[in-house]
Homo-oligomer: A and B are copies of this chain.
Amino acid sequence: MKKDNVFLRIPAAIPDEIFETIAENAHVKIERIISDGHTTPEDSWYDQGHDEWVILLKGIAEITFENEPQSLVLKPGDYVLIPAFSRHRVTRTDEKQPTVWLAVHMKP
């Protein structure tokens, strides 16, 4: 069995957010996301047909949901279940260091 580490292989320069599938089967996809100050473009929303569970492991992030006045600030260890069709945007990620997330996409 081979292990890997979620904090390894973080490039020095991250011009675009990095999305890597680190495990997957027919029903689940586990993804590592590395942000470096990136946010979702202002006129755009994530609007997914499946539940997504996300945990922040390094850095800081803020998620804004279309139907909620208050944004959610995530620090290391914080997690949230984003139900399908909950329109949301990432409105901040750490500007001083890479932000590392894990996302578990639960296919319906």
Can you tell how many copies of this chain the complex includes? 2
A33 within 8 Å of B (CB atoms): no
A45 within 8 Å of B (CB atoms): no
Binds B, one of A11-19, A34-42, A50-58, A91-99: A50-58
A88 / chain B contacts, CB cutoff of 8 Å: 1
Interface residues of A in 1-52 (CB under 8 A from B): 1-8, 22-23, 25, 27-28, 30, 51
A25 / chain B contacts, CB cutoff of 8 Å: 51, 106, 108
Interface residues on A, range: 35 or more
- Which single member of B8, B28, B68 contacts A1 (CB below 8 Å)? B68
**Pairwise interchain contact B27-A107, C-beta atoms closer than 8 A:** yes
**Pairwise interchain contact B72-A3, C-beta atoms closer than 8 A:** yes
Residue of B at shortest CB range from A105?
Answer: B28
Q: List 16 A-B contacts (CB under 8 A).
A: A1-B72, A1-B86, A2-B80, A3-B78, A3-B79, A3-B80, A4-B79, A4-B80, A6-B55, A22-B79, A23-B81, A23-B106, A27-B27, A27-B106, A27-B107, A28-B106
